[in-house]
Amino acid sequence: MCLSLLEIEQDVVVGETTTQFVPMTGWLPVGAWSTVIALIMLTSATSEFRGTPAFQTAIDRNDPDAAVVLESGGGGPTWVSSGAPTDCTDPTAPTVTGKFWIRFGVMVKNVTTQGVVSRAHVSLSLQGY
């Protein structure tokens, strides 16, 4: 079993009400990421900001698949608005069959009127094996 750990932080700004993926890592080989546990914490978040851990896979990094949220025990995404670290996943197996690359980030959305800018400092802790 191979264990991988990532701690990443990034300021994220959202001006759209549609859900969008913000990558927070570069492309990584999928081998050590067949099962993922994720924690997310938002600080300095505006009241409109929502985020949840997500990933994107690819055979060719220039033609990635659509981003997918890491579901909380199969029960769908856990949209976080602020506060203490939130465990957003039971051990979840990303669909990586036939893929070579994976990258992690946050799926974000603005829950108010279009054109209102929301932001947060996003911290992700990822454990893969």
Q: What is the model's pLDDT at position 98?
A: 82
- In this predicted model, which residue has the larger pLDDT, 86 or 72? 86
Instruction: Write down the residue that tokens 């579901």 correspond to.
Output: 71
Write the CA distances from 35 to 65, 82, 123, integer angstroms: 18, 26, 20
Write the CA distances from 3 to 33, 71, 94, 128, integer angstroms: 8, 20, 15, 6
Query: What's the pTM?
Result: 0.85
Choose which CATH entry (3.40.50, 2.60.120, 1.10.1740, 3.30.230) describes domain 4-128: 2.60.120
pLDDT tens-digit series, residues 39-78: 888 888 888 888 888 999 999 999 999 998 887 655 666 7
Instruction: Provide mean pLDDT across the span 81-90.
Output: 70
